[in-house]
Chain A
Amino acid sequence: MSSFPWLTTLIVLPLLGAVVLWALPRPAARGEATYSSDAPAPGPRRTREVAFGFAVVELVVTALAVVAFDTSKAGTVQLTETHSWIPAFGVSYAVGVNGLGLVLIAMSALLVPLVVLAAWREQGSEHGASNRLRQYLALVLLLQAFIVAVFAARDLFFFYLVFEAMLIPVYFMIGGFGGLRRRYAAVKFLLYSLAGGLIMLIGVIALYLHGPGGADGFLIDKLTGLSLDPTLERWLFISFFVAFAIKAPMFPLHTWLPDAAEQAPAGTSTLLVGVLDKVGTFGMLTLCLPLFPHASRWAAPVIIVLAVVSILYGALLAIGQQDMYRLVAYTSVSHFGFIVLGIFAFTSTSISGSSFYMVNHGFSTGALFLLVGFLAARRGSVRIDAFGGLQRAVPVLAGLFLVVGLSALALPGLSPFVSEFLVLVGSFATQPAAAIVATLGVVLAALYILWMYQRAFHGPVNAAVEGLADASARERWVIGPLIAVMLVLGFVPGPALNLVRPAAQVTITQVGVTDAPAVAEGSAQ
């Protein structure tokens, strides 16, 4: 394989984009232009295009990195780079991905240009918006750099560093550009995440001190397979798990998510729920399980119960929501329950399913958030009862909404079905009771999606809805690729599954359980 630093390029590129955006010259004649002038200055047009350009280049480079990745050895960490960074603390700059990390990076690389595209007219109505949009897009690119870094980190300290540092752009993305109660939502988000992260810090330090130490003692490889004292291992596991459970978010640590999703702009929610929250489940899968195998097995029963509670509780609350952003947020709590269930069921099928679920959920929920955002831009409200009969007013938008909604309830043919199926089948082998109860979540999913669709899109046409514009070309181009990806992955999940399954098998070996017979594996294909 070539030794081109793919991952560093992927990290640096969006950073560069953010810097370029900040450095772009502001529209001239700002001084004289007073409040009343809302003539679009030349600045904002370039702003959007530059951001979009960087996002697309990032996507292209990601595609090249996927090509450079040896898919036949997807279970091993590839594209690695290791440099000493803070030897006094034992910290290295070490990046590398296995199949799972790669698909998650690819997912975020696909989502970011669409988020930029979706934000094209956001922050544009009020005064001074051009500058605000620039700041927003710069934060999006900054966040993307952190996202790539966190999925690629092979050094625990570096992972923790990025894990915490990426709170800052998200904090500003919620607090600076959201709805009326955005400050509250942003602070709640930050404090939840920070509290979890700081508790994890103790675990990180303690783990290092019990590891081999030395100038590269934080490398995850060096910390894997330590024989820790059982009590210590459990405490360390808890310190890590709580941070990830907050991030994921899992019942009962999920309460920040609906507030954040409700107040943040749709693009922020897309990245927050679609990508960032995956860091939680990604961390469970790639850190908790390999680093603390015994404690993982010890805690699995409790976690599985919490996961099932998340599935049902999230779904039930989603049914009761009036606010569509909150509704989608609660569906995510439910979906994250499935992912966690699959991870802690400890079969290669369920873990592959969970890994694949992380990707699909990003596309499906991201698309749903963006669609709700489009509705919000039209109607100025996202309350379900503010709509009605939308199908007649905006048929194309309604169609898109229906397809994406069906993906969220895991309709066969769309990719979330494959992953949900794998999780349930895989979990059934070891946790039959949990898998059976979790199946109820699938039923409830049909209820919350279809009932929302029925109330907002069917029925008599609400007077306020009449005359709304149908999906513009830009909006179709935002949602279209996502639906296409879900269809492709739904019918041909093989290549993607081949990327995540070897990684899942490696994890199973590390946890030290014998893989349950893969019931009906492959039937999804």
Chain B
Amino acid sequence: MIAAFTAPHVAWTAIAPVVIVLGAGVVGVLVEAFVPARFRRTVQVVLAIAAPAAAVVAVAALWQGVKQTGGTSVLGGSVLVDGPTLVTWLVLAALGLLSVLLVADRIEGGEDAFAPSVAAVPGSAYEEQARAAGSMQTEVYPLVMFALGGMMMFPAAGDLLTLFVALEVLSLPLYLLAGTARRRRLLSQEASMKYFLLGAFASALFLFGIALIYGYAGSIRFSDITTATATPSDLDPLLVIGLLFLLVGLLFKIGAVPFHLWTPDVYQGAPTPITAFMAACTKVAAFGALLRVVYAVFPGLNWDINPVLWIVAIATMVVGTVAALVQNDVKRLLAYSSIAHAGFVLTGIVAFDERGIAAVLIYLLAYGAATVGAFGIVSLVRERSADGSVVGEATALSQWAGLGRSHPVLAVTFTLFLLSFAGIPLTAGFIGKFAVFSAAVAGGAWPLALIGVLASAAAAFFYVRIIVLMFFTEAQDDEATGEAPVPAPAPAVAPADEDGGSAVAVAQRTATATVAQRTTTTVVVRGEGFATVAIAVCAIVTVVVGIDPTPVLDLIGGVAKFLP
């Protein structure tokens, strides 16, 4: 007789947040197959908003238990649900939810940020047909859900294979999503291709590192590896090289120098809501995983990898800052600034100080909120062509001139995010910077903190540059080219309002002509309100955490301990 089959015990409740999100992805695929086209978007949007929201609730439900017990290991140790995992889940689910809101937003006429038919050759007749037919690529919602699920699994992984699978689950949808932009199709496809090739390369190195570590430790389980690395052995080079390869994979996802080259191109080419999602959530996930690897799995190797991380952190801060100084495109500028921020976070990690964990998590929350908000605003600032139709995003910095006068609320909100990036007090960014630099100084890495503050001062320059542009530069006096003397043709769609009418009135106006810029003008579209909600939430988080961070600090600080 066959021995009685014993079903493996799975603590479903502990991994409920991930299951919910991945489940929503699976259901989303089924929706594509079975729900009539006209309901598809509605169903997908509801699903994609409900799933991260439910994940937040699930995390909240798990919180107390984890706080008391310190966490559990699930699926035979493949998934570790401990404090840092829960915090990253919470941050990821919240930022994912906000990103989904950006993804879901459409301007009047029902255009979202995605190509009507991604598979069509750019400029082909087929593409034009698809556009005319009003078709939509609603697959983006399940793709976002899968990516989010992978991101949530990434920092929770309890063995190297789970780590790798999570990396691929989060990466593959992102490669696709990067290529789906409605405008500038070729740029978008190039971004997708570049991201995929470099990402595949990084994944290969990552996998090779896993193999080497397995060769050393004889196990893929983190706890076994930790035990194995505690005692010196002849195979140490194998271990160090394996860990370095592993770090390459992680640093690639983080966008740290010298593995950052994809970042500006991909951030620029991808649809802006996806850029927001990538910039905020991928970083959170990858830093969560890096924290675990460095702090919990290989604590014995700190001495070996410390120099590497120091160099990477310094290079990342310096290169990100310096390169951002010369950017003329707001998306590229934010991309380089995100590289610089990766460097700042790394200073918190390099500290190898207890408080580093909480500091990094705080920083990621502050950075993520500002990032989603900033890209959300970028997605609303559009060009209007001469015939009055709204076309792509106005990403050239010169097109942002005078926005403070014409759209005060939008410009002030964007300024808030920029100030948070710059780490000015009373914003969340300052709390984050303070936390990571404190951790760095406490851990004896004060030279890193010093470079960090100098880089922050330099970084302030390019954030301030945008503020200057928005508030202190007239739309015309910036680059008065040949066609400048346009007396802002009042478009039929909306009344012109050149000198910044009432804030509320302007914000609510569907589209307002503002800037005479060659043949196109810069307008701010209103959308369906999803993006506005997301931006507002980000702004509130940025201000509230900046003024009274105690609840968040207590929340995170109370559980910032890895399960061994």
A binding-site residues for B, Cβ under 8 Å: 26, 30-31, 35, 85-89, 127-128, 131, 160-162, 164-165, 167-168, 171-172, 175-176, 182-183, 186-187, 190-191, 194-195, 198-199, 201-202, 205-206, 208-209
Contacts and interface: CB of A to CB of B under 8 A. Distances in A.
Given A198-B453, A199-B453, A209-B442, A87 B501 contact: no
Interface in B456-481: 456-457, 460-461, 464-465, 468, 471-473
A206 B425 contact: no
Nearest to A165: B425
A30 B502 contact: yes
B423 to A, nearest CB: 8
Contacts of B471: 172, 175-176
B441 A206 contact: yes
Contacts of A164: 424-425, 430
A201 B472 contact: no
B438 interface: yes
B224 interface: no
Contacts of B378: none
A127 B405 CA distance: 13
A86 B468 contact: no
B456 A198 contact: yes
A198 B550 contact: no
B551 to A, nearest CB: 10
State the majority secondary structure of interface residues on B: helix
Interface in B424-463: 424-426, 430, 434-435, 437-438, 441-442, 446, 449-450, 453-454, 456-457, 460-461
A127 B499 contact: yes
Contact of B468 (A89, A167, A186): A186
Given A30-B502, A194-B457, A205-B438, A88 B550 contact: yes
Contacts of B468: 175, 183, 186-187
A128 B499 contact: yes
Contacts of B442: 205, 209
A209 B438 contact: yes
B391 interface: no
B550 A194 contact: no
Contacts of B426: 161, 165
Nearest to A175: B472
B557 A88 contact: yes
Interface residues of B, number: 42
Given A171-B464, A206-B446, 15 more contacts: A31-B501, A88-B549, A88-B554, A88-B557, A89-B553, A162-B425, A176-B472, A182-B472, A186-B468, A187-B465, A187-B468, A198-B453, A201-B434, A201-B437, A205-B437
Given A87-B550, A205-B434, A190 B446 contact: no
B419 interface: yes
A88 B454 contact: no
Closest 10 CB pairs of A and B: A198-B453, A88-B553, A161-B425, A195-B457, A165-B425, A164-B425, A205-B441, A128-B499, A175-B472, A205-B438
Nearest to B426: A165
B366 to A, nearest CB: 14
Contacts of B422: 194
Interface in B400-415: none
B495 interface: yes
A202 B465 CA distance: 25
A127 B500 CA distance: 12
A205 B449 contact: yes
Contacts of A208: 438
A156 to B, nearest CB: 12
Interface string B293-316: 000000000000000000000000
A164 B441 CA distance: 20
17 contacts: A31-B497, A35-B498, A87-B550, A127-B499, A160-B425, A164-B430, A165-B424, A165-B426, A172-B471, A187-B468, A198-B454, A199-B453, A202-B437, A202-B453, A205-B437, A205-B441, A209-B441
Contacts of A172: 471
A202 B450 CA distance: 7
Interface in B463-522: 464-465, 468, 471-473, 495, 497-502, 505
A121 B446 CA distance: 51
A202 B472 contact: no
A86 B554 CA distance: 9
Given A165-B424, A168-B419, A191-B457, A31 B495 contact: yes
A190 B460 contact: yes
Contact of B457 (A35, A176, A182, A198): A198
Contacts of B438: 89, 205, 208-209
Nearest to A27: B502
Nearest to B469: A183
B471 to A, nearest CB: 6
B407 to A, nearest CB: 14
B502 A85 contact: no
B353 to A, nearest CB: 10
A403 B367 CA distance: 54
Given A86-B550, A201-B434, A205-B437, A183 B457 contact: no
A191 B465 CA distance: 11
A520 to B, nearest CB: 44
A85 B549 CA distance: 9
A165 B423 CA distance: 10
A202 B441 contact: yes
